[in-house]
C-alpha cells in the first residue's frame, strides 16, 4: 500500500495535535484503550468534548503543558493509503525539531488559528517548508467554529497567506487552503455542511488523492552502507554492496561510476534477499554486484556514469543550527553526507536568514541554536554533491561535533 509522509506545523494552540487526533478518531485508528484514556482524561479535565490532543502528546511535559515539544511520528491507514505524520513543535525554540520532522515529508499541513490569522510563526513554518522543498502544502484554517464559520475570515487569511507566498522563490510549490474545525471534525476526515460557501475537499480527501512525486527526474544515487562478503565457500568470490537507491531507478547493465574513486563498471545483479531483479526503483533497499572487481567501500556512492555530480573542496549551504554551542568560523566538524564522513572547517558565516522573509543579516559571525544561516565550508578532501533543490539526498548533510559526537546541525547545499 502506498505510504504518504506528512508534517504538521502551527503555532501554540493552533490545534495540530487535535487535528491529528481527530483524523485518527474519524478513521477509526485509535485503539479501544487509547480512546478510553482520552474519554477518561477529557472528563477529568471537565471538558464536554473529547480532547483529541491526548492521542499524540507522548511526553509527560507535553500533556502537562498542552504543547508539542518533540517530534512525534503517528501512523494510521485508510483503505487507500497509509500515512506517517510527523507532529512537529510550533515554538520558535524548537525550530530544529520542525526541520527534522519536515525533512522527510512529501506534504505539509500548516495550521492557522482563524481568530489570529497569519502570524510570525506562520512565516517561519512556511519558510522551512520552502527551504526543505516540500511541494504540497495544505493551509488549514482551524477553529472556524469560533468565528461562526465566517467565509470572510477565511478569505482574509487566504489573501494574507498569498501575499506571503508571493515572497517565496519556490515556484513549483502547490498550496491548498481548507477551512476546518479540528475539534468539531468539520472538513477534517469528511466534508461539512456548516460551511456551504466552501466547495473544496476535506483534509483527508485531499491526502487520499495526493500523488507525490517519486523523484523520477533526479539523478540516481546509491550510497553504499555496507559491503557484503559472506563467509561461505559457495560465495567465496561474492562481493555485494548494500544500500538504498535515491533519485531514480537503477537497472542491470547500467554503466556506473564509483565516487570518490571515479572507477567505473556495470551493474551485474540487483538483489533483495534471494530474489534478483532487472531494475530497482528509488526508495528500494537492495544489494548490487558489479561486473568488475573494483574497490568499493562503505561511504562510497554509485552513480550512473553520465550523471556524475559536481565535486569541490569548498561548500556553501544553508545550515539549521541545533547545538547549544554556537557555530563560529574556524570551528571543525565532521560532515556526514549520505554514509560518507569528511572533516570540515567553518570558513565563514555569510548571513543569518530571517525566517519571516525580511531578509538576511550579514553583521553576525556566529550561528546560534535554532538559527538558519548561509555557511561556507572548507573540506579536507573533495566531496561529490548535488544542490538540494535538484536532489534532496545528494544535497543534504548533517554536521557532527567530533568532541561530543552529537548532531550539531543540518545543511542544505546550494
Cell of 309: 555530480
Burial (0-12, 13-18, 19+ Cβ within 10 Å), 191: middle
Give the tens place of pLDDT for each residue, 130-152: 999 999 999 999 999 999 999 99
- Report the chain's mean pLDDT, rounded to a whole number: 89
Mean pLDDT of 295-306: 94
Higher model confidence: residue 71 or residue 45?
Answer: 45
Sorting pLDDT into bands at 50, 70 and 90, what band is 71?
low
Residue 102 has what pLDDT? 83
Higher model confidence: residue 189 or residue 217?
Answer: 189
Using the predicted structure, report yes or no on whether residue 268 has a pLDDT greater than 80.
Answer: yes
Model pTM? 0.83
Lowest mean pLDDT among 112-116, 167-171, 407-411: 167-171
Kindly report the length of the chain: 414
Using the predicted structure, report yes or no on whether residue 108 has a pLDDT greater than 70.
Answer: yes
Give the tens place of pLDDT for each residue, 348-363: 999 999 888 888 999 9
Residue 60 has what pLDDT? 46
**C-alpha neighbours within 13 Å on the C-beta side of residue 272:** 11
Give the tens place of pLDDT for each residue, 373-390: 999 999 999 999 999 988
Give the tens place of pLDDT for each residue, 154-210: 999 999 999 999 988 888 899 999 999 999 999 999 999 999 999 999 999 999 999
Sorting pLDDT into bands at 50, 70 and 90, what band is 340?
confident
Amino acid at each position: 500500500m502506498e505510504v504518504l509522509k506528512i508534517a504538521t506545523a502551527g503555532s501554540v494552540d493552533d490545534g495540530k495535535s487535535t487535528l491529528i487526533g481527530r483524523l485518527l478518531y474519524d478513521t477509526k485508528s485509535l485503539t479501544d484503550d487509547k480512546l478510553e484514556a482520552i474519554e477518561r482524561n477529557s472528563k477529568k479535565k471537565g471538558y464536554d468534548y473529547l480532547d483529541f490532543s491526548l492521542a499524540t502528546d507522548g511526553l509527560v511535559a507535553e500533556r502537562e503543558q498542552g504543547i508539542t515539544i518533540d517530534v512525534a511520528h503517528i501512523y494510521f491507514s485508510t483503505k487507500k493509503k497509509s500515512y506517517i505524520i510527523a507532529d512537529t513543535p510550533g515554538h520558535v525554540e524548537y525550530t530544529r525539531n520542525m526541520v527534522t520532522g519536515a525533512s522527510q515529508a512529501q506534504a505539509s499541513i500548516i495550521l492557522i488559528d482563524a481568530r489570529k490569522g497569519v502570524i510570525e510563526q506562520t512565516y517561519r513554518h512556511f519558510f522551512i517548508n520552502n527551504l526543505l522543498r516540500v511541494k504540497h502544502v495544505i493551509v488549514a484554517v482551524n477553529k472556524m467554529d469560533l468565528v461562526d464559520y465566517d467565509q470572510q475570515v477565511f478569505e482574509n487569511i487566504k489573501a494574507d497567506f498569498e501575499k506571503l507566498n508571493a515572497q517565496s522563490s519556490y515556484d513549483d510549490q502547490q498550496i491548498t487552503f481548507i477551512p476546518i474545525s479540528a475539534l468539531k471534525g468539520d472538513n477534517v476526515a469528511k466534508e461539512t455542511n456548516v460551511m456551504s460557501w466552501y466547495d473544496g475537499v476535506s483534509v483527508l480527501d485531499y491526502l487520499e488523492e495526493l500523488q507525490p512525486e517519486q523523484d523520477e527526474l533526479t539523478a540516481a544515487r546509491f550510497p553504499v552502507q555496507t559491503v557484503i562478503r559472506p563467509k561461505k565457500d559457495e560465495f567465496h568470490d561474492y562481493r555485494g554492496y548494500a544500500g538504498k537507491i535515491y533519485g531514480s531507478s537503477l537497472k542491470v547493465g547500467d554503466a556506473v561510476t564509483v565516487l570518490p574513486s571515479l572507477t567505473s563498471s556495470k551493474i551485474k545483479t540487483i538483489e533483495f534477499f534471494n530474489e534478483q531483479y532487472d531494475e530497482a526503483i528509488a526508495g528500494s533497499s537492495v544489494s548490487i554486484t558489479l561486473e568488475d572487481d573494483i574497490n568499493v567501500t562503505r561511504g562510497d556512492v554509485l552513480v550512473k556514469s553520465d550523471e556524475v555530480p559536481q565535486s569541490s573542496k569548498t561548500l556553501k549551504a544553508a545550515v539549521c543550527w541545533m547545538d547549544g554551542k554556537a557555530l563560529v568560523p574556524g570551528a571543525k566538524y565532521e560532515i556526514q553526507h549520505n554514509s560518507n564522513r569528511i572533516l570540515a572547517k567553518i570558513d565563514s558565516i555569510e548571513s543569518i536568514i530571517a525566517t519571516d522573509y525580511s531578509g538576511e543579516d550579514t553583521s553576525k559571525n556566529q550561528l546560534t541554536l535554532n538559527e538558519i544561516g548561509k555557511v561556507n565550508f572548507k573540506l579536507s578532501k573533495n566531496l561529490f554533491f548535488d544542490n538540494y533543490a535538484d536532489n534532496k539526498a545528494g544535497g543534504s548533510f548533517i554536521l557532527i561535533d567530533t568532541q561530543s559526537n552529537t548532531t550539531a546541525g543540518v545543511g542544505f547545499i546550494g
